[in-house]
């Protein structure tokens, strides 16, 4: 999208407050007129178009940056850009809630199991050849990392597997939630220390077979069993909730 077409979508504001500016930018994002990676016009141009001061525009952009909707890039080609959906903001919010004790380990476990089951079920039904190839490649890399005794690398590939499964489920909300919950769990792993999980590769191979045969029920059960086992290892003091089909 070029800057001229972006400018045509904006209208002069009446109250001349930074909230009016942020509201117009949010509206353009909601309508799809502004998309991820689009660059906003320069502060001076926005201020002239909207009939507000540059300080008002600057305050609005700062507010949207804090909200995770914009990123500011320095340099000659820099400026304000539409961010990638605010996933980092959701992740930060989860971190804060964990720190405050609002979200406890059992809550995290329950959410991961519930979402993990449904992600596996949908991945069986919706995955394509590209998804399956990426998952097979991930399992091969996990195996090589395990053989080399590279535990941090094996953990990294293991976490990536869950994110690839979510992509295969073809639901952006589940993808975001899986990424956030997986990354939050990783904070526990780092605090406790990575532990060897001999059951990981066996579970991964079974999951690939369920995917190939599109056996959704068995994939869901495999995801449930795997998550309960691995989360019990890392969060051994937390009570596992009774989550079933």
% helix / strand / coil in the chain, to the nearest 5?
A: 70, 5, 30
Task: Identify whether residues 94 and 184 lie together within a single domain.
Answer: yes
Same domain, 134 and 158: yes
Residues 74 and 109 occupy one common structural domain: no
Average pLDDT score over the chain? 83
Q: Within this chain, do residues 96 and 208 fall inside the same structural domain, yes or no?
A: yes
CATH of the domain at 55: 1.10.10.10
Q: What is the model's pLDDT at position 94?
A: 79
Q: What is the pLDDT of residue 243?
A: 47
- Band of residue 182 on the pLDDT scale cut at 50, 70, 90: confident
Percentage of the chain with pLDDT > 70? Answer: 81
Chain segment 26-56, per-residue pLDDT in tens: 888 877 788 878 899 999 999 999 888 899 9
Q: Of 47, 64, 82, which marks where a domain is finished?
A: 82
Range with lowest mean pLDDT among 57-61, 91-95, 212-216: 91-95
Domain finish residue from 49, 82, 115:
82
More confident residue, 219 or 6: 219
**Dist. CA 4–CA 124, nearest whole Å:** 45
79 forms beta bridges with 73
Average pLDDT over residues 160-166: 94
Q: Is the whole model's pTM more than 0.75, yes or no?
A: no
Alpha carbon distance 37, 229 (integer Å): 40
| Closest by Cα among 1, 79, 71 to 42 | 79
The number of angstroms, rounded, from the C-alpha of 30 to the middle of its chain's C-alpha atoms is 19
80 φ/ψ angles, rounded to the nearest 5 degrees: -95, 125
Number of domains observed in the structure of the chain: 2
Q: 78 and 120 share a domain?
A: no
Confidence check: pLDDT of 7 > 80: no
The domain boundary, picked from 82, 114, 135, lies at 82
Residues 122 and 16 in one domain: no
Q: Does residue 239 belong to any structural domain of this protein?
A: no
Range(s) of the domain holding residue 179: 88-234
Residue 244 has pLDDT above 60, yes or no: no
Residue with tokens 């079933």: 244
CB neighbours of 200 closer than 8 A, spacing ≥ 6? 142, 146, 154, 158, 226, 230
Residue of 127, 156, 133, 129 lying closest to 144 (CA atoms): 156
Higher pLDDT: 38 or 196? It is 38
| Residues whose CB falls within 8 Å of the CB of residue 201, separated by 6 or more in sequence, listed in order | 139, 142, 143, 146
Q: Does 103 lie in the same domain as 56? A: no
Q: Do 76 and 100 belong together in one domain?
A: no
In three-state secondary structure terms, 36 is: coil
User: DSSP label at 39?
Assistant: B
């Amino acid at each position: 999208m070029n800057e001229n077409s972006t400018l045509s979508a904006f209208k002069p504001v009446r109250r001349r407050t930074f909230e009016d500016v942020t509201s117009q930018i949010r509206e353009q994002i909601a309508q799809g007129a502004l998309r991820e990676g689009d660059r906003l016009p320069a502060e001076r141009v926005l201020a002239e178009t909207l009939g507000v001061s540059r300080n008002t525009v600057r305050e609005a952009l700062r507010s949207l940056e804090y909200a995770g909707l914009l990123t500011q890039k320095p340099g000659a080609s820099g400026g304000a850009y539409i961010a990638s959906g605010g996933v980092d903001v959701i992740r930060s919010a989860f971190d804060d809630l964990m720190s405050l004790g609002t979200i406890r380990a059992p809550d995290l476990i329950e959410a991961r199991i519930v979402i993990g089951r449904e992600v596996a079920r949908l991945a069986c039904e919706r995955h394509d050849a590209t998804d399956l190839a990426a998952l097979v490649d991930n399992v091969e890399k996990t195996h090589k990392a395990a053989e080399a005794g590279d535990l941090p690398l094996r953990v990294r590939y293991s976490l990536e597997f869950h994110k690839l499964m979510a992509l295969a489920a073809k639901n952006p909300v589940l993808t975001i939630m899986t990424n956030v919950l997986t990354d939050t769990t990783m904070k526990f792993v780092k605090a406790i220390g990575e532990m060897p999980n001999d059951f990981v590769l066996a579970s991964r191979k079974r999951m690939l077979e369920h995917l190939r045969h599109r056996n959704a029920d068995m994939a869901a059960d495999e995801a449930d069993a795997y998550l309960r086992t691995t989360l019990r290892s890392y969060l051994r003091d937390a009570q596992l909730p009774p989550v079933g089909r």
